[in-house]
Homo-oligomer: A and B are copies of this chain.
Amino acid sequence: MFTPRSIKHCRACGGVVRYATPADDNRDRATCTVCTTIHYENPLNVVGTLPVWEDKVLLCRRAIEPRRGLWTLPAGFMELGETTEEGALRETVEEAGARVELEGLYSLLNVVRVGQVHLFYRARMLDTDFVPGPESLEARLFAESEVPWDEIAFRTTKRTLEFYFADRREGRYAFHAADIA
């Protein structure tokens, strides 16, 4: 979760930071009292996939906090040096050990409370030789009737799965956006 006004020292010189509104700005920024560097804080992207094999979706059971033991889609923070698609593929390998082919951006979910934007890609699994990574206790394919709805780790995962099964019933997949309160 993002903690507003959490910057206490300047990353450039180590000097003490003060929150104030710069002359050409309209909100408080962490500004170094020594070297005047301004440190911006902005939302981060979480990128992942919804891997599908036949009539089943692939979920991972989390081996780490938060929400250890609960199920989620493979996803994680986007890194510098990669595209959203590359990040989504990387997380799918890291967390589920799954080989997939992306089929387009499927959901964008704003989670303002924690300063995050979650982006999920629909993904076609190329085989079922998936192997959970160190951040997952297990990875398993679920038919719609088997999905452990009460044990899903994050609401962005739950909404994306709900979008998917609803779209599948209608026989067409559309991009979905939603805000998680």
Residues of A within 8 A of B (CB): 2, 4, 6-17, 24, 26-27, 30, 39-45, 77-85, 94, 104-105, 108, 110, 112, 115, 117, 134, 175, 177, 179
Contact = CB atoms under 8 A, between A and B. Distances in A.
Given A43-B45, A45-B45, A105-B108, A80 B9 contact: no
Contact of A80 (B24, B39, B41): B41
A6 B2 contact: no
Closest 9 pairs between A and B when the two form their complex, measured CB to CB: A9-B14, A83-B110, A14-B14, A7-B11, A80-B115, A42-B44, A83-B179, A175-B175, A43-B78
How many copies of this kind of chain does the complex include? 2
A112 B11 contact: no
Contacts of A7: 11
Nearest to A11: B7
Given A6-B11, A9-B14, A179-B83, A42 B39 contact: no
A-side binding surface: helix, strand, loop or mixed? loop
B9 A13 contact: yes
B105 A84 contact: no
A119 to B, nearest CB: 8
Given A42-B78, A81-B112, 9 more contacts: A9-B9, A9-B10, A14-B15, A41-B80, A42-B77, A82-B112, A83-B179, A84-B108, A105-B177
Given A27-B79, A108-B84, A177-B105, A8 B2 contact: no
Contacts of A112: 81-83
